[in-house]
Each structure stands twice: as C-alpha cells, then as structure tokens.
C-alpha cells in the first residue's frame, strides 16, 4: 500500500490533465544508484557530482541497458532521489560495501575520511508492465547511472587535475608502461557531472553496489 505522501510525490510527474495515479496502478521500489566509493574503473565520484545526481534524478526515466536510441526501453520513472550520508558507518554497513569493493584498503580509507554517501532513487513502474514482474522476481537486479559529464579527472594524491603540471601521477585505469605504473595514482576522482539522463537496469554496472534494494539490504543500510 502506498501512503498519500508517496502518491503525491509521484503525481507531480503525471501529464497535465491526466488522472491521478492510484495505489493499484503502480509499483514502487528503491535503487541504490551510486556512492562515493570505488567503482570498477577505479574512480570515485566527487561529492558535487553526487549532489547533482540527487537533485536532477526526480522525473527522469528508468531504462534498460542505456539504450537511448529506443524509447520502448523506457520502463519506469524515478520520482524521488536522496543523497544519504553516514559519517561514521558501522561495521555492518562497512562489510556490506567491502564485499563488492574493487580495493578494500582504499574503500576503507575513504569511509574513514569521508564516511559513506549513498544515492538512493525511488522508482515507479506500471503494475501491469512486464518489468514489474522482472523486478519482483529478481530477474533484473543491477543498475547503472546515465548522465552527462565533462570528464574531469582529479588525482587523489595531488588534489589537482592529472594534466596539471604539478601532478606527476598517471590515471590508473589506462594502458601504462611498467615505469608509468609505478607513478600511477591508486584511483582517480571523477567530477564535472552536469545532467542526469536516466537510470538503467543492466547485467553489471560500474558501481559494484548499484542494485535494486531488497529487505535485507534496506535493513543493513538504514534506508528510508
């Protein structure tokens, strides 16, 4: 059952003059879309980019496989998004994220320094749409953000762009010689996120923990 406050949030995005959605029309679910920890490409989103995602996701489509060429692959909508911050994550939250971390030592250090920022999107689908059964029965689980970014790359050691003359380090995710590997930064900070386009259901996303949240996840992560 959806409470009136949730229905009011959803109905903000209905077409003009269309009847209000009712509880029986729609299904809702939560997606952990991104965070400030390491992604598989060995980058970390900067805080401003995560804030921009949270501010621009409501009203954007839920899609399949980032297929921007095919409108039929829009299967739902994000009606709310929040950036949740846990400055002192407890051991259970830490272990949840470290289980899928590409580098546990770096992610532990990030959590010690910054805490955890979680971008959580509240999504809706039409109850009669096939995607609803796919989600309810776990046939689609993992998620990936889709947006526009300037591609800014900052060195975490120097806190300057890699191309800056004062930074002697290399981006760790590119092809490097053995000498360059010795001077590679442990990861890179991705910034310049400008606009959200969509959130997609995928087989495997760049953010290891981006997924549809089940009851066990929600209990561990203290989500709303």
DSSP letter string over 187-208?
-EEEEEEEEEEEEEEESS-SST
Q: What distance in Å separates the CA atoms of residue 111 and residue 90, rounded to the nearest whole number?
A: 10
**pLDDT of 224:** 46
**pLDDT of 87:** 94
**pLDDT of 81:** 97
- Give the DSSP letter string of 44-90: EE-HHHHHHHHHH-TTPEEEETT-TT-GGGEEEEEEEEEEEEESS--
Q: How many degrees, rounded to 5, is the angle at CA 211 between CA 129 and CA 199?
A: 60
**pLDDT of 29:** 94
List the chain pLDDT tens, one digit each, 224 residues.
788 999 999 999 999 999 999 888 999 999 999 999 999 999 999 999 999 999 999 999 999 999 999 999 999 999 999 999 999 999 999 999 999 999 999 999 999 999 999 999 999 999 999 999 999 999 999 999 999 988 889 999 999 999 998 999 999 977 888 888 899 999 999 999 988 999 999 999 999 999 999 988 877 776 54
């Amino acid at each position: 059952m959806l409470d009136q406050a949730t229905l009011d949030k959803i109905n903000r995005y209905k077409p003009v003059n269309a009847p209000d959605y009712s509880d029986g029309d729609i299904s809702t679910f939560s997606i952990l879309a991104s965070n400030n920890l390491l992604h598989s490409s060995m980058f970390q989103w900067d805080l401003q980019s995560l804030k921009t995602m949270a501010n621009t996701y409501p009203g954007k489509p839920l899609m399949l496989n980032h297929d921007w060429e095919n409108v039929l692959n829009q299967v739902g909508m994000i009606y709310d998004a929040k950036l949740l911050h846990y400055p002192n994550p407890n051991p259970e939250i830490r272990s949840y994220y470290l289980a899928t971390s590409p580098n546990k030592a770096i992610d532990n250090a990030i959590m010690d320094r910054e805490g955890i920022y979680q971008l959580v999107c509240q999504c809706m689908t039409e109850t009669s749409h096939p995607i609803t059964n796919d989600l309810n029965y776990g046939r689609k689980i993992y998620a990936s953000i889709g947006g526009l970014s300037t591609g800014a790359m900052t060195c975490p050691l120097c806190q300057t762009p890699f191309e800056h003359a004062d930074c002697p380090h290399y981006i760790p995710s590119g092809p490097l010689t053995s000498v360059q590997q010795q001077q590679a930064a442990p990861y890179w900070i991705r910034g310049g996120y400008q606009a959200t386009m969509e959130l997609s259901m995928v087989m495997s996303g760049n953010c290891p923990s981006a997924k549809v949240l089940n009851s066990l996840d929600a209990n561990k992560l203290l989500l709303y």
